[in-house]
Structure 1
C-alpha cells in the first residue's frame, strides 16, 4: 500500500476557488471564498512562489510579508505543476475535469507523450484538449471586462488560447510594466477583472534555485511592484496575490536515475510527468500479474521516499478531483511523487537538459502544494 497521503484541504481553500470568488465579489454574488464587494479586481499569479518560499524570505518581501498571515494559504493542484494549476485557476475545475493532468502526459490514441504547455505548437494536442469553459468567458457573460497581462511571447500561444480564452491579452514585458498596466486598467474600467501572470521567479528558480541571490532579487522586484501598486491602488479595487505551486531545490547529488534498475522499466512504455512527479504508462496488454509485479518493484524501491500510486488509487484519493471518462486514460498507470528532496531522471531521454534544473516542483509536499493568497485594497482583511 502507498504511504499515507497529506490530508486534503477544504475545497473552498484551493486555487480553483480563487477566480470564482473574485467574480462573485464583482457581481455581488456569494463565492466559495468570501471577499468584500469590489469595483474592479486584480489577481496576480506568481509562478513558483510557494507559501514556504515566501515565509523563508520574508525579509526580502516586506509588502507581501506584512499582509501574509497563517490563514493566507491555499492548496494548489496535483500535480503541483503550472500546466495543471493555471488551467484549474482559469476554469475553476479540477484536473480530472479540464484534462490537463500533468506536465507530460499520454495522448490516448497517438501512443505519444505531449507537453501540456507547448504541445499545441507541436501539433500533439487538439484544440479541444482543455475541456472546460474558462471563467473569463463566464465573467464576460456576467458583464465584466476580463484582461490577461503577461509576457509578449505568451500572447498567442496554444496554452494561452486553451486556458485563458475570453480575456483580452495585453502584453507587458517586465514585472513592473505589468503592475503599472494593471493599475491603469483597474482605474479606467469598471468591472475590470485583471489577471497578472509573473513567470520570472519560476524561471530563475529552475535555473539557479529559489535559495539563490538571483531568486531573492526577483522576489524583491516583485515586492516593490506590489508595493507601488498598493500605494496608488485605484478606488474600491481588490488585489489578490497567489501562486500556482512552490519550489524545492534539488542538487545534482540528489538525482535518482530510474534507468539504473532495468527491472523498474520492464513493462513501462512511456515515462511521462516530470522529475518531481513521474507518470509511468505501461505497455498495452501487460498481463495483470506483470502489472502487479511492476507496481510492487516500484513500491519496494521507492516507497520509503515517495508516494507510489496507481491511477485508480490516485483517483480514489481525489487527487485529480472528479475524473471524466475521457480524461482517465491521460493519467499515468503509476505515479511516483517524492516525499524526500530528490528528483527522478531517465538517462535514455534524448534531451537531458532538465537535469540542469535546480528548482523543482510537482509533488504533494507542503513546500510544493501550499501557496499564498494575500489580500490588499478592497479585499484586505480588517
Structure 2
C-alpha cells in the first residue's frame, strides 16, 4: 500500500477531544482547560493553523493569544461534514458515520451529499449521524445548550444531525454571532454555547487564500473575537480544517478510460471515494489507478484505509459500508476531478481541503476569557 498517515506526535491534541475538554471545564474537573462558569465553543470554518500563522498580521487579536502549543489535528477526511461532526460529537468519523463530502448510501446504492443533500437525497438526521451530540450530552447532564449561526442553516438536515439538543438562534454578522454567544453564556450559567463562523471558508473556496477577499474575511472574524469576554466565561476557538489553494495547472481530470469500472465518484477533489461497478474487481482497478496517477495521488482500498486508522481507531459496520471501494488522495496541492460528470462547477473552486497535508489538518485551538493562558 502506498498510503500512510503523516507522522504525528503521540501527545498531539485532536479535535475529537474538544467535547470532553469543554465538559470537564464545566464540571470543574482537572483537565486541559480551567473551570469556567459557562463555555463558548467557536468554530471558524476553514481556518488552518498554518494559514493563520502565515497571516498573523490580519488576525492580531487571535494570534496574540496563540502559542506554538495551541494547535490540534483534524480528522480525515479533512472536510466540514466529517470534521465539524467530530468536534460536535467527540467521535471519530468511523463512529458518527459522516465519512466525507459525498458517499454512497449502501442501502439504496445512490450517491448522497452529507453537507447539503439531506432533504433532497432523503437522509434522516436522527439516524444517519449515529452518535449523540455534545449538546445532547450537555442537556442530559443539566447544562443549557445553545447554538448561534446563520439563519440559512437553522433548519438544514446537517444542522439537525449535528446540533441535536441545542437551542438555535441566528445572527447575520460574525460580530453579532459572537456577541450573541457571549450573552447566552453569561445569562445562562453552566451552559455550553456553540458559535459558527463560516466566512473564512466561503471566501477561501471562492477566491483562494491569497485573495483580498480571504484576508478581509479573516480580519472580520478576528475583529469579532477581539471584544471583551464576560467574566468567568471560557472561550475555546478552533476550526474543522484548514485549506490549500489549487491552481488550475494542478487539476487532474479523469476521462472515460480512467473511470472504466467505476460506478460512482464521491468524496471531493482532495479526497475521492470511488465505488466500483463490481467490487470483486477492486485489485485490478486499484493497480490501474496507481499506475495512472503515479506520483500525483495516493491510492488505497477500503480495507487498507480502515486498517491504517484513517477514519479513527474504531469504525462501525454502517460507517465502513459508506467508504469507497478505493480512496484517491492527491499529493501536494493537486485535485482530482471526474471529467465525465455533467456538473463541473467544482473546478472553479480555488481553496480546497479534504486531504492529509498539514495545511489541511492542523487547526488552531486557542483559549480566550477564562481559558486564556
TM-score range, shorter chain: over 0.9
Task: Name 2:123's counterpart in structure 1.
Answer: 125
1:267 aligns with 2:261: yes
1:323 aligns with 2:321: no
TM-score norm. by structure 1 comes to: 0.94
1:313 aligns with 2:304: yes
CA-atom RMSD in angstroms:
1.4
Aligned equivalents of 1:10, 1:45: Cα separation in 2:
24
1:22 aligns with 2:22: yes
Task: Name 1:87's counterpart in structure 2.
Answer: 85
Unaligned stretches of 5+ in structure 2?
Answer: none
Cα drift, residue 17 of structure 1: 0.7
Unaligned stretches of 5+ in structure 1?
Answer: none
Residues 105 and 113, structure 1, Cα contact 8 Å, conserved in 2: yes
**Counterpart selection for 2:353 from 351, 355, 361:** 361
Aligned equivalents of 1:213, 1:292: Cα separation in 2:
46
Report the count of equivalent residues.
Answer: 371
Matches within 5 A, 1:128-167: 128-167=127-166
Cα drift, residue 5 of structure 1: 2.4
Aligned equivalents of 1:95, 1:56: Cα separation in 2:
29
Find the residue that maps to 1:330 and give its secondary structure: coil
The structure-2 alpha-carbon separation of the partners of 1:11 and 1:197, relative to structure 1 and needing over 3 Å to count, comes to: farther
Aligned equivalents of 1:253, 1:163: Cα separation in 2:
36
Cα drift, residue 10 of structure 1: 4.1
TM-score norm. by structure 2 comes to: 0.96
Cα drift, residue 314 of structure 1: 0.9
Find the residue that maps to 1:373 and give its secondary structure: strand
Q: Which shifted more, 292-301 or 128-137?
A: 292-301
Aligned equivalents of 1:104, 1:144: Cα separation in 2:
34
Aligned equivalents of 1:132, 1:143: Cα separation in 2:
19
Task: Name 2:217's counterpart in structure 1.
Answer: 218
Cα drift, residue 302 of structure 1: 2.1
Task: Name 1:69's counterpart in structure 2.
Answer: 67
Matches within 5 A, 1:165-204: 165-204=164-203
**Counterpart selection for 1:111 from 109, 119, 132:** 109
Residues 3 and 303, structure 1, Cα contact 8 Å, conserved in 2: no
Aligned equivalents of 2:136, 2:14: Cα separation in 1:
21
Residues 120 and 159, structure 1, Cα contact 8 Å, conserved in 2: yes
Aligned equivalents of 2:143, 2:158: Cα separation in 1:
23
**Counterpart selection for 2:272 from 270, 278, 284:** 278
Deviations along 1:50-85, one digit per CA (max 9) or x if unpaired, are 011101100111111111111111111100000001
Task: Name 1:237's counterpart in structure 2.
Answer: 233
Aligned equivalents of 2:367, 2:148: Cα separation in 1:
19
Aligned equivalents of 1:248, 1:22: Cα separation in 2:
29
Residues 2 and 303, structure 1, Cα contact 8 Å, conserved in 2: no
Deviations along 1:235-272, one digit per CA (max 9) or x if unpaired, are 1111111000001001222111011x61x312111100
Aligned equivalents of 2:97, 2:117: Cα separation in 1:
13
Task: Name 1:249's counterpart in structure 2.
Answer: 245
Cα drift, residue 305 of structure 1: 2.8
Q: Which shifted more, 116-125 or 73-82?
A: 116-125
Find the residue that maps to 2:6 and give its secondary structure: coil
The structure-2 alpha-carbon separation of the partners of 1:159 and 1:3, relative to structure 1 and needing over 3 Å to count, comes to: closer
Find the residue that maps to 2:252 and give its secondary structure: strand
